[in-house]
Amino acid sequence: MCGLLGLVCSAQNNNANIGTAVGSVARALQCQRHRGPDESDTWHNNDVVFGFNRLSIIDVERSHQPLHYAQGRYTILFNGEIYNYLELRAELRDSYGAEFATDGDTEAIVAAYHHLGPSMVGKLRGMFAFLIWDAEKRVIFGARDPFGIKPLFYAAGPGGVAFASEKKSLLDLAPTLGLSPKLDQAALQHYLILQYVPEPETLHTTIRRIESGTSFTVSPGGQVVTERYFQPTFAPRPITTSTEAGQLYRDIAGVMRDSVAKHMRADVTVGAFLSGGIDSTAIAALAKEHNPDLITFTTGFERTGYSEVDVAAESAAAIGVKHVVRTVTAQEMMQALPLITWYLDDPVADPALVPLWFIAREARQHVKVVLSGEGADELFGGYTIYREPLSLAPFEKVPGALRSVMGKVSSRIPEGVRGKDLLRRGALTLEERYYGNARIFRDDQIQQVLRTHDPRISHTDVTARWYRDSLAWDPVTRMQHIDLFTWLRGDILVKADKMTMANSLELRVPFLDPEVFRVAARIPQDQKITKETTKYALRQAMRGIVPAHVLNRRKLGFPVPVRHWLKDEMHDWARDIVHQSLTDDLINKNAVLRILEEHRSGLLDHSRRIWALLVFMLWHGIFVERRIAVHVPEPHYPVKL
């Protein structure tokens, strides 16, 4: 788990030009030092400049990067972990006579590329973003993991093409590349609709992301050519007998046990995040089988109904692990949010990322790696909204013309009246109404606050291509498919990576494993969603593994009491952010202040919309106005724990 930065120069360089580029890369590498505080190094030739910050997890004493292979023909930068690296090394040694100078997973990747070529990506079981320079062919080959666990940004300009784990590094390199990144107004509109900036966009023009499940090549002076190597394909199989159901549950338990075992591979201490839900509890219980001294971590708030601390503590006691709790206050959230926004690179309007940052900071005092339960909901059908097709089934029988009338009736019902949203959503097709778990501003609402609103921009710009790939599946599976490409990689995995790496902590997600997906992909709808619960098959598979009090507990997500705090403790703070923000050309601040007061009065719950605007205004103050100066603490963690 590290931070990489690679520059592919535009043409053959002389010593003076390459010397300038090396200095620029070294400086740009500094803003992502939190990703790898253990060691830092750069390497270059006349074509490329590579920089790396390392967080040492596997083969701590060796596997330094940039790492060279095959007498220097290849040089690799690699951020992530390959959990089947021991098996991969053995296969390469036995089948191809591969030789290794280290005991790590980085060398396994570059050796696989040497012997197998680009198809080697399909053999990697892990989270990764890497660049491999082939000096003989003068080309870079790179890839990002199937689900987008690890980030990879890139920018191309007259001075070359650069790749980085943090967008901040590319902003610093922009002059070297000959770029002047500006605010991307279409991406801003998508952010206010979705709660995050969808891939491959960022909020800066000319800076984009390599998408999840994508590999690419680029040569000096050439363009980035991408290819999707992983397309998640669901193939639900009907379950007609108890024998078939039992086998499915055993398969789920078996593949999860195997995934957790491989995710525990490390030369440093591994802990686990633990909430009150089945996902993290299952991971912690399975991890305990490999580490009897496992430490778990949870966070919560001193407000009734907004904390899973008690349930998590009960689970920790039942599993038999040491447990650490970190409680977060409203004051702490307000103080930390500017720094957290700096770490994010692009705004993510999910309040849950703030307590995640605090518990990651606490966990880093005890361990260097944590396991977590991200991805279970997308793979096994865990979100409550996945039950919506069941509740809206009667509307599917209504003729299209009548459904249109229903939509018009809904638009005339005042906001806050019960049944308005049900009627509105019932009038829409699945493609129209579902674009992920977060729905912040509707079209009619966004026009009131966004001065640059463009009616031609829609959530369908993001979801249409993924819906086209899912026509043959049932509604719930189609919703899962959409979330894999939107909510999961836009919100869930961004906050997981950014908030843990901000604290030089590696987070691993055993649910997001290709082998786990192969099993989850065949689960039929009725084994995912029932009238009573979600993730039905997973819950059945985890019987005897997780404590009984968690097994059928309903999903709460990670509730943060901003709805209450924005009425009280956070109200003046929020109002000050709006007044001080220099975003008048983009945002109608009078409209924002109006909805802030409506929220305070209790007339309507605008908390999510307000939070999205506040995070954007802080982001704008840091990265565009340069008005907000953030003090970034120096990472000071030891190499080994």
Rounded Cα distance, 156 and 170, in Å: 10
Rounded Cα distance, 493 and 449, in Å: 28
Whether residue 2 lies in the annotated active site: yes
The most distant pair of C-alpha atoms in the chain lies apart, rounded to whole Å, by 72
- Whether 141 contacts 214, CB under 8 Å: no
- Whether 318 contacts 288, CB under 8 Å: no
Q: For residue 160, list its beta bridge partners.
A: 9, 157
Q: For the stretch 281-304, what's the b/e string if a residue is b when 16 or more beta carbons lie within 10 angstroms of its beta carbon?
A: bbbbbbbbeeeeebbbbbbbbeee
User: Edge-to-edge strand order for the sheet containing 295-300?
Assistant: 322-327, 295-300, 270-273, 369-371, 506-508
Angle CA 217–135–125, to nearest 5: 50
Helix (H/G/I), strand (E/B), else coil: 129: strand
Gyration radius from the chain CA atoms = 24
Rounded Cα distance, 138 and 452, in Å: 43
Alpha helices in 117-165 (DSSP H): none
| Annotated binding-site residue? 212 | no
Rounded Cα distance, 296 and 287, in Å: 10
Q: How would DSSP label each residue in 522-560?
A: T--GGGTB-SS-BSHHHHHHTBTTB-HHHHTPPP-----
Per DSSP (E only), the strands in 179-320 are 207-209, 214-218, 225-228, 270-273, 295-300
Question: In sequence order, what are the residues at sequence separation of 6 or more whose Cβ sits closer than 8 angstroms to the Cβ of residue 223?
Answer: 156, 161
User: Rounded to 5, what percent of the chain is helix, strand, coil?
Assistant: 45, 15, 40
Rounded Cα distance, 542 and 609, in Å: 37
- CB burial class (10 A; 0-12, 13-18, 19+) of residue 406? middle
| Annotated active-site residue in 2, 537, 570, 586 | 2
| Annotated binding-site residue? 165 | no
C-alpha atoms less than 13 angstroms from C-alpha of 506 in its C-beta half-sphere: 31
| Closest to 65 in 3D by CA, of 40, 36, 101, 99 | 40
Rounded Cα distance, 445 and 404, in Å: 20
| Annotated binding-site residue? 51 | no
| Closest to 112 in 3D by CA, of 143, 152, 136, 154 | 143
Rounded Cα distance, 487 and 490, in Å: 5
- Annotated binding-site residues read 105, 372-373
- Annotated binding-site residues for L-glutamine read 105
Residues that are catalytic? 2
